[in-house]
Structure 1
Amino acid sequence: MGVPVSRTRPAGPCSGLRVLEIATMVAGPLAGQMLADLGAEVIKIEPVGGDPLRRVGPAHKGMTAMFLANNRHKKSIELDLKSPQGQDVARRLAATADVLVENSRPGVMARLNLCYEDLKAVNPRLVYASISGFGQSGPYVSRPAFDQVIQAISGIMALQGGGGEPQPVRGFFVDKYAAAATASAITAALLHRERTGEGQYVSVSLLDSFASLALVDAIRNETFEDLEEPFPAVDINRPIRTADGMLLGHVQTNDQAARVCRVFGREDLLEDPRFGTDRARTQNIRDLWGELEKTSRSMSTEVVMEKVTQAGAPLAAVNTVSDFLTDPQAVHNQTLVEFTDEEFGPIRVMNYPARFEKSPTRVEARSPKLGEHTEEILRELGLNS
């Protein structure tokens, strides 16, 4: 279970910033949520009928878990941006905002008269962040892009398949990488504005953000033009069984090998020429884990982990997600937090990952219902609902 949180929310490092979010599904909304977790006021403009993520279950009292996971701490206003009235409200909001985040296909915001050049005219200090699939130009600019499409084109599925059938990375990682890249780029653009007084346009693509993180190690044989000896493609990940579960570890250096072998009482393997050097061990890593598994199968996971702690070995039990949420370190870190909403009851969500000494964050609010703040926002603008 998560750790209950206080209902008094401190001012986070982005407190005082207003963010206008015109985004749906995962990448744009998650970027907005990251800023909301940091204390920014995030106003989410939703299309008529709402963000499609509102219909991705499971749901409780009309609120889906997926929508809640990407939209907490926000305000919601429902607008028809295809209408002149909806566009007028959006422009008025943009005039009061520090940041705008959108993830429409390239060209859509211009057709709505809400592109950067349109809004720069009413708010030159605006940081305007666009998230697209492939970028704002190029041969694929008009193609639809989703998480799986980017995974297919990037080469990561071939890597995950290990030479066999290509395998996707599950869990919308492309969208999540893009969200993190966008939030980071926005904070950098805000620092630029702090120094110069000027806003700017920021473009983030799913393709570039995913490749920049997921393929860092995958291009090692492509880094130098005249590579003398390409590094062999070796899958170093091999889970091994215990008497009641599974383990996965990392062995690269001589010190790591010594510590792992000590856990299983197999120091004899350190004298085996197959495992005597970093390179030899890497080339024979599956054999090493196979030897260690001969011992691990007769040991309980609990006993192994006690020895892991004593040896300082890089090994861990393979958990389910439910196991992880009750893991002692995750509980200590407050990785999962729990709060109670008057309408929806107890809610458990993942915490913001960074801890700030001077301006702490606190996750403690659900996602808004569709249009929940429409009247409030229009009233602030001097408009009737």
Structure 2
Amino acid sequence: MKFQPLKNVTVVSVEQAVSAPFASCRLADAGARVIKVERESGDFARDYDDSVNGESTYFAWVNRGKESVRINLKSKEGKKLFLNLVKKADVLIQNLKPGSMKKLGFGSESLREKYPKLITCDISGYGEEGEYSEMKAYDNLVQAESGLIDVTGDDDMRAKVGISIADISTGMHAYSAILEALMHRDQTGEGVSIKLSMFDSMADWMMVPWFHQKYAGRTPKRKGVFHAEIAPYGPFKTSDGREVMVGIQNEREWKRFCDGVLSGLIHFEDPKFSSNSNRVKHVEELNELIQSRIDQLSHQQTVELLKKHQIAFANLNTLRQFSEHPQLRLTDVEMNGELIKMADRPAQFIGFSTEFGPIPALGEHDEKIRKEFGS
């Protein structure tokens, strides 16, 4: 039996790039019918690259299970068709520039007045008010404005996060907010207007470093792949060149690590290292001592010791090693009549089957949508 809790939900999404497509993709995974409205030239994310059998990696990732229809929202015919879609929709998502949908005559406030059961989700860069409201917002730009880049990297150079984390955060918040709104409508019979910005989404995820700055007057130091606030917590190179990431979270683990892995090189009650705060203060000396011990061990010996003494660790894998990881669950998805591989749904619903719908070609469902909803 398929797990499709949203099988009776229809979503219309005027979307581009990543944040809104991420949210609507997850709704499609849960069984919703998602109609992706694209301009004649298509979602510009279709042209980001051509790595997946000639198609864009970003588009392939967040557009499975959708129907693609091209609509000119400025034309009389396009406006009529779009309103016919909205009339039968449960959810309307859009992430165009703030004010764009309103100028076209499709502002969420007016649509909610006409269709009180409709749930609208407007995604923007910085919200619809304030001096930033008109600014364009892309993932790296929001990483910069939110301070994320300031706490990422090392002493010598700041760095962006290696994936579209601001977009993903916003898409996740949109998905969960829409689910909450659907539950609210089930209880009250009324829809909800949701406003969500990429900046607010990242602000929520930046609270730990922000607390340090707000209440302690300091910014966590950039430590590259090492943790800024916990020690030891970072990678160490074994004698055969592999790197193992070790993470000590409490004093019980610290004692086991000292006695079992470091073989007494450091006494767990040494005043310089007897608490996490002290270890952080002397982290450079600490890491040098640990590395001197790991230098004597092969990767296999290191892993065996860490497992034996129940120390949390991970291999510092390359992307190629990740692609061959024994825990990586992959599934097939249809695109352009062929099957491609991608990661399966993180959440497994025991006793149910799940599958991803095809990734649509531009305008693949034009005729179907116009026939069903009128032109």
What is the TM-score of this pair, normalised by structure 2? 0.90
1:351 to 315, 332, 344: 344
Q: Distance in 2 between matches of 1:208 and 1:261?
A: 42
1:155 to 133, 147, 151: 147
Q: Distance in 2 between matches of 1:185 and 1:57?
A: 31
Q: CA deviation at 1:25?
A: 0.6
Q: Which has the higher contact order (CA 8 A, sep 6+)?
A: 1
Matching residue of 2:138: 146
Q: Contact 1:95 / 1:119 at 8 angstroms: preserved in 2?
A: no
Matching residue of 2:289: 291
Q: Contact 2:155 / 2:221 at 8 angstroms: preserved in 1?
A: no
Matching residue of 1:256: 253
Matching residue of 1:216: 207
2:98 is matched by which residue type in structure 1?
P
Aligned residues: CA RMSD? 2.3
Matching residue of 1:74: 66
Q: Distance in 2 between matches of 1:312 and 1:251?
A: 10
Q: The residue matched to 1:44 in structure 2 has which SS?
A: strand
> Does residue 10 of the first structure (1) align with residue 6 of the second (2)?
no
Q: CA deviation at 1:347?
A: 0.9
Query: Residues 356 and 137 of structure 1: is their aligned pair in 2 closer, same or farther, counting only changes over 3 Å?
Result: same
1:296 is matched by which residue type in structure 2?
I
Equivalences for residues 174-253 of structure 1 within 5 A = 174-213=166-205, 215-222=206-213, 224=215, 233=221, 235=223, 236-237=226-227, 238-242=234-238, 243-253=240-250
Q: Contact 1:274 / 1:284 at 8 angstroms: preserved in 2?
A: yes
Greater shift in the superposed pair: 239-248 or 169-178: 239-248
**Percent identity (aligned):** 28
Q: CA deviation at 1:162?
A: 4.3
Q: CA deviation at 1:95?
A: 0.9
Query: Residues 296 and 21 of structure 1: is their aligned pair in 2 closer, same or farther, counting only changes over 3 Å?
Result: same
Q: Distance in 2 between matches of 1:231 and 1:22?
A: 39
Q: Distance in 2 between matches of 1:262 and 1:88?
A: 73
Q: CA deviation at 1:287?
A: 2.2
Query: Residues 90 and 382 of structure 1: is their aligned pair in 2 closer, same or farther, counting only changes over 3 Å?
Result: closer
Matching residue of 1:83: 75
2:123 to 117, 120, 131: 131
Q: CA deviation at 1:250?
A: 1.9
What is the TM-score of this pair, normalised by structure 1? 0.88
Q: CA deviation at 1:233?
A: 4.6
Q: CA deviation at 1:366?
A: 3.0
Greater shift in the superposed pair: 66-75 or 297-306: 297-306
Query: Residues 346 and 30 of structure 1: is their aligned pair in 2 closer, same or farther, counting only changes over 3 Å?
Result: same
Q: Distance in 2 between matches of 1:267 and 1:363?
A: 52
2:159 to 138, 163, 167: 167
Matching residue of 1:276: 274
> Does residue 319 of the first structure (1) align with residue 314 of the second (2)?
no
Q: Contact 1:263 / 1:313 at 8 angstroms: preserved in 2?
A: no
2:317 is matched by which residue type in structure 1?
N
Listed as ranges, the gaps of 5+ residues in structure 1 are 1-8
Q: CA deviation at 1:50?
A: 0.6
Greater shift in the superposed pair: 310-319 or 236-245: 236-245
Query: Residues 267 and 86 of structure 1: is their aligned pair in 2 closer, same or farther, counting only changes over 3 Å?
Result: farther
Query: Residues 89 and 152 of structure 1: is their aligned pair in 2 closer, same or farther, counting only changes over 3 Å?
Result: same
Query: Residues 161 and 327 of structure 1: is their aligned pair in 2 closer, same or farther, counting only changes over 3 Å?
Result: closer
Query: Residues 100 and 263 of structure 1: is their aligned pair in 2 closer, same or farther, counting only changes over 3 Å?
Result: farther
Q: Contact 1:127 / 1:202 at 8 angstroms: preserved in 2?
A: yes
